[in-house]
């Protein structure tokens, strides 16, 4: 299984599928469609049925039931785009029998996975780690999830003694830019419930995520020759800096954990004449989430009173906490928890400090908790995934199919 996982994962990350938040197309990059075509051919060769890629790039397929029992249809979902934070690697670096020491990724820039910065590395001594080259991200988010789902389907097809109902798989574009299931046909997918294989470390199981919004702050200044600027110049950059300074410093990501929310300034551009700040707003608690958005509007009003209507604030919600949709059907979490235990792993039920396609799918009527794919340090050059964690994820998928089949 590890050999198959490594082979598939290596094939998948060789495709550059970075999504682009500035694009107006869907999916946001043509490269994602190319990879989608590859997945279609692979799924057909495996023998899955109803394999297709629709006009939006969604790839879906079916593993037919192998029992006459009336069982719910379950789904497994992963996304094939990688984060726009940096380009992906074409080939993973393979660390066999990890010795528990620091791993130099790129000697030229002195980029290393160190135990001081990443103490969880010690949990993987003796295992096979797949890492970056220190200049790229790896793409385990979420091509590890795709490899795990495909390997699990192959395993179930080869082991007909495991009785299961109809299983659907779905691979989506543009998750990293918050549009992963914008056009996803939940009714056509036809599942009673599903799981995204998009979590982090082995054992993670999540049915809570952030409520999320994006905010764009625009400041209109007045540019005057600096030699004649007295009482005339209005520097938009300084107002933008003041806006950021008025947000509570302790509610920045580097100071938060667990259920604590935050404001994150993700981009700033400016001149004396015009400046733009782009933020994301996150909180698990819906009430606190709404208060955060309102506070940004309050800051905007304050600065407009101070400087004369030069600031605009546009806030758009992105997704909501799926907990409210999962709790009424909590057995879907319990099934996953049991499947993880049967794989010999201790479940780590925790809130996602981020988002997942499963959140929006849950609000579209498809309950969809999130299960670990095994990776660490997503979206950057320190990303890595233990191959043994991916193997456990395959076991969990198979166990879910078996548990549902037996009941």
What pLDDT band is residue 354 in, cutting at 50, 70 and 90? Answer: confident
CA 68 to centroid of chain Cα atoms: 36
Q: Which one is catalytic: 42, 81, 142, 208?
A: 81
Q: Are residues 109 and 186 in the same domain?
A: yes
For the cut 90, the answer to whether the pLDDT of residue 171 exceeds it is yes
pLDDT in tens, 74-123: 999 999 999 998 998 888 999 999 999 999 999 999 999 999 999 999 99
Strands 204-206 and 311-319: unpaired
Q: Are residues 56 and 146 in the same domain?
A: yes
Q: Are residues 251 and 383 in the same domain?
A: no
Q: Are residues 228 and 175 in the same domain?
A: no
Q: Are residues 146 and 239 in the same domain?
A: no
Mean pLDDT of 205-213: 95
Cα 288 to Cα 277: distance, rounded to the nearest angstrom: 22
| CA triple 342-348-351, angle to 5 deg | 135
What pLDDT band is residue 178 in, cutting at 50, 70 and 90? Answer: confident
Q: Are residues 314 and 325 in the same domain?
A: no
* 175 in active site: yes
Q: Are residues 270 and 337 in the same domain?
A: no
pLDDT in tens, 227-277: 999 999 999 999 999 999 999 999 999 999 999 999 999 999 999 999 999
pLDDT at 317: 93
For the cut 90, the answer to whether the pLDDT of residue 355 exceeds it is no
CATH number, residue 345: 3.40.630.10
- The answer to whether residues 215 and 314 touch, using CB atoms and an 8 Å cutoff, is yes
Domain end (from 287, 319, 351) = 319
For the chain, give the mean pLDDT. 96
Tokens of 283: 């909180």
Cα 147 to Cα 75: distance, rounded to the nearest angstrom: 15
Q: Are residues 265 and 140 in the same domain?
A: no
Cα 28 to Cα 177: distance, rounded to the nearest angstrom: 9
What is the domain range of residue 222?
211-319
Q: Residue 260's closest CA among 281, 237, 236?
A: 281
CATH number, residue 309: 3.30.70.360
pLDDT at 270: 97
Q: Residue 395's closest CA among 330, 358, 341, 348?
A: 341
- The answer to whether residues 13 and 139 touch, using CB atoms and an 8 Å cutoff, is yes
pTM above 0.75, yes or no: yes
pLDDT at 72: 96
Q: Are residues 27 and 152 in the same domain?
A: yes
What pLDDT band is residue 318 in, cutting at 50, 70 and 90? Answer: confident
Q: Which one is catalytic: 141, 148, 154, 175?
A: 175
- The answer to whether residues 374 and 228 touch, using CB atoms and an 8 Å cutoff, is no
Domain end (from 297, 319, 341) = 319
pLDDT in tens, 323-351: 999 999 999 999 999 999 999 999 999 99
What pLDDT band is residue 380 in, cutting at 50, 70 and 90? Answer: very high
Mean pLDDT of 390-401: 98
The total domain count for the chain is 2
Mean pLDDT of 356-376: 95
Q: Are residues 29 and 128 in the same domain?
A: yes
pLDDT in tens, 16-37: 999 998 999 999 999 999 999 9
Distances 280 to 16, 178, 257, 313, 317 between C-alpha atoms, Å: 26, 11, 16, 12, 10
pLDDT at 313: 98
Q: Are residues 295 and 365 in the same domain?
A: no
Mean pLDDT of 156-171: 97
Domain end (from 319, 352, 376) = 319
| Cβ neighbours around 68 below 10 Å, total | 7
Lowest mean pLDDT among 64-78, 146-160, 345-359, 365-379: 345-359
For the cut 90, the answer to whether the pLDDT of residue 128 exceeds it is yes
For the cut 90, the answer to whether the pLDDT of residue 161 exceeds it is yes
What pLDDT band is residue 356 in, cutting at 50, 70 and 90? Answer: confident
Q: Are residues 122 and 243 in the same domain?
A: no
């Amino acid at each position: 299984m590890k050999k198959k996982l490594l082979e598939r994962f290596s094939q998948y990350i060789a495709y550059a599928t970075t999504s682009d938040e500035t694009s107006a197309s869907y999916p946001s990059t043509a490269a994602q469609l190319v990879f989608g075509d590859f997945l279609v051919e692979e799924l057909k060769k495996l023998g899955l049925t109803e394999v297709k890629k629709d006009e939006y790039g969604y790839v879906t397929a079916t593993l037919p039931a192998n029992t006459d029992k009336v069982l719910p249809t379950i789904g497994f979902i992963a996304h094939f785009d990688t984060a726009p934070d940096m380009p992906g690697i074409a080939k993973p670096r393979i660390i066999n029998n990890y010795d528990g020491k620091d791993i130099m990724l790129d000697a030229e820039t002195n980029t290393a996975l160190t135990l001081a910065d990443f103490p969880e590395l010690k949990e993987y001594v003796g295992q096979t780690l797949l890492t970056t080259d220190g200049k790229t991200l790896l793409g385990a988010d979420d091509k590890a999830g795709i490899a795990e789902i495909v390997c699990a389907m192959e395993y179930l097809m080869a082991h007909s003694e495991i009785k299961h109902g109809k299983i659907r798989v779905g691979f989506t574009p543009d998750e990293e830019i918050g549009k992963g299931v914008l056009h996803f046909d939940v009714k056509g997918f036809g599942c009673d419930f599903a799981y995204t294989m998009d979590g982090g470390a082995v054992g993670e199981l999540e049915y809570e995520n952030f409520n999320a919004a994006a905010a764009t702050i625009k400041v209109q200044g007045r540019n005057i020759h600096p030699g004649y600027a007295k009482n005339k110049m209005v520097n938009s950059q300084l107002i933008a800096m003041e806006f950021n300074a008025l947000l509570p410093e302790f509610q920045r990501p580097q100071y938060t954990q667990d259920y604590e929310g935050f404001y994150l300034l993700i981009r700033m551009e400016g001149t004396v004449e015009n400046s733009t700040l782009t933020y994301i707003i996150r909180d698990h608690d819906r009430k606190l989430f709404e208060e955060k958005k309102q506070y940004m509007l309050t800051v905007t009003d304050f600065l407009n009173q101070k400087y004369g209507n030069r600031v605009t604030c546009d806030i758009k919600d992105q997704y909501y906490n799926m907990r409210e949709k999962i709790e009424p059907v909590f057995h879907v979490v319990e099934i996953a928890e049991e499947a993880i235990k049967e794989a010999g792993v201790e479940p780590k039920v925790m809130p996602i400090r981020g988002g997942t396609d499963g959140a929006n799918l849950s609000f579209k009527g498809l309950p969809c908790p999130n299960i670990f794919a095994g990776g660490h340090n997503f979206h950057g050059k320190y990303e890595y995934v233990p191959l043994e964690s991916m193997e456990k994820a395959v076991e969990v998928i198979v166990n879910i199919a078996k548990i549902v089949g037996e009941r």
